[in-house]
């Protein structure tokens, strides 16, 4: 029985920001620019997806039975502390999950600023025929949310 992924987490929406500062915010760290890679695919056997997402796209190591899903739409917003300080200088604890980021934004602790280089000047991005989205030249921390899935999934 074929298992399909329908949510951002369950779908193995591989979200990799190629910035060293993504998971270790440091005060006084030099700003780094990188590319946000989003991959969306389905698989027959989820156990073959592997544990690590780092470098899978660049090394061509996606699982052999992975089927790319085109037409999936994601929203991308930059996350900054609402106190106006840099992450390393703020007393705010960096959200470790998407839900923590949303909760912090709802509580007024984190500001979410839509990235407006997507479709028609919005913060919406659609996966291509290879099931991927690449957003280059980013600097900072971003919340990525899947807002619509591929047809039939």
Place of tokens 């999950």: 97
pLDDT at residue 150 is higher than 50:
yes
Q: What is the mean pLDDT of the chain?
A: 75
Rounded alpha-carbon distances, angstroms, from residue 148 to 16, 69, 112: 20, 12, 20
- Flag the least confident range among 25-29, 37-41, 112-116: 25-29
Q: What percent of the chain has pLDDT over 70?
A: 67
pLDDT in tens, 62-84: 677 788 899 999 999 999 999 99
Question: How far is 40 from 132, CA to CA, in rounded Å?
Answer: 6
């Amino acid at each position: 029985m074929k298992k399909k992924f329908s949510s951002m987490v369950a779908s193995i929406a591989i979200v990799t920001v190629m910035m060293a500062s993504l998971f270790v915010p440091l005060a006084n760290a030099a700003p780094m620019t990188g590319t946000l890679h989003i991959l969306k695919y389905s698989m027959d056997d989820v156990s073959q997806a592997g544990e690590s997402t780092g470098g899978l796209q660049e090394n061509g190591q996606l699982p052999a039975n992975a089927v790319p899903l085109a037409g999936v739409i994601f929203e991308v917003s930059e996350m900054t502390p609402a106190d106006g300080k840099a992450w390393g200088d703020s007393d705010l604890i960096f959200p470790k999950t998407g839900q923590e980021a949303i909760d912090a934004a709802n509580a007024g602790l984190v500001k979410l600023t839509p990235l407006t280089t997507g479709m028609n000047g919005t913060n919406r991005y659609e996966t291509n025929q290879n099931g991927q989205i690449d957003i280059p030249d980013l600097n900072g921390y971003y919340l990525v949310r899947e807002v619509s899935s591929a047809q039939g999934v």
